[in-house]
Chains A and B, each alone.
Chain A
Amino acid sequence: MALCVDASVAVAAHLPHPCGPAARQLLAEALVAEERLVAPPLLFAETTSVLRRHVHMRAIEHEDATAALDELFALPWSIVQEPAVYLRALDLARRLGHGRAYDVQYLAVAEMENCPVVTLDRGLHESAQALGIASRLIT
């Protein structure tokens, strides 16, 4: 079994954020239950960018972002990087009528791994539901 984690959860888990404790608990419980944390490669790019934006707006220091990213990489992520992810994302975006194919990459991985996706993003959560993909929304 696996849990597909999007960047919103990854960032919240590594910063003082109202959803942080729930995000960390979910990740820890999944790993203790020997579930894999899966994601598309986009996870690291998006997490890095959002952490950088926190630094740029002076919400945190550069060293805080570095430490958060270090700890993110310390977790045993299974990054699914293969053409099928992007082909599936393209198809899911078409089915949802989305003009872009970023967040659907998480849905593609969740579908391929036959596992739920976890997110803070209500829009992604609703997209997953519309596609019949299990989803957990952290609020």
Chain B
Amino acid sequence: MNGPEGMITVQEAARRLNRSIEQVRRYLRAGKLRGRRIGQQWFIDEASLRIPPLRYQTGPSREGKLREAAAVMEKRKISKAEIEALFKRIDRRVEALRRRLGGDVRTDIVEMLREDREAH
């Protein structure tokens, strides 16, 4: 079965990487290769074979300080308590800023982004 342009079968990816089909499937599950399921079959994004994907995640370190971006392949787990604490912190800071400013900022964020993109 031929895949969409730029996509190859799992079997072909395994051949090119000199890995087993099951290993390629593990790479897919781990996000090390990009793929898409079409019907009953998975296809691999050919570009993801050429250069190893780089993903990094941000988030609090165990010390609660800003963690520097680090290349990680696995999905980072964050607890519900951590999420709630993070958003409570954001809410508190934003509310304090709102009080100081006497209300919301009167800026058009979308227009600012558009201007930035056009300026490049």
Contact = CB atoms under 8 A, between A and B. Distances in A.
B58 A77 contact: yes
A36 B75 contact: yes
Given A76-B78, A79-B56, A100-B118, A17 B66 contact: no
B15 interface: no
B57 A79 contact: yes
Given A50-B116, A83-B51, 13 more contacts: A16-B97, A16-B104, A16-B105, A32-B80, A53-B107, A67-B93, A71-B89, A71-B90, A74-B86, A82-B48, A83-B48, A120-B110, A121-B110
A108 to B, nearest CB: 11
Q: Chain A's interface: helix, strand, loop or mixed, by majority?
A: helix
Interface in A96-112: 100, 102-103, 112
A81 B89 CA distance: 28
B55 A78 contact: yes
B109 A80 contact: no
Most chain A CB neighbours (cut-off 10 Å) among B106, B107, B120: B107
Contacts of A121: 110, 113-114
A100 B116 CA distance: 12
Interface residues of A, number: 52
A50 B89 contact: no
Contacts of B113: 7-8, 46, 50, 103, 121
A54 interface: yes
A67 B118 CA distance: 27
A82 B7 CA distance: 15
A77 B90 contact: no
6 contacts: A64-B97, A68-B93, A73-B58, A75-B86, A84-B53, A123-B110
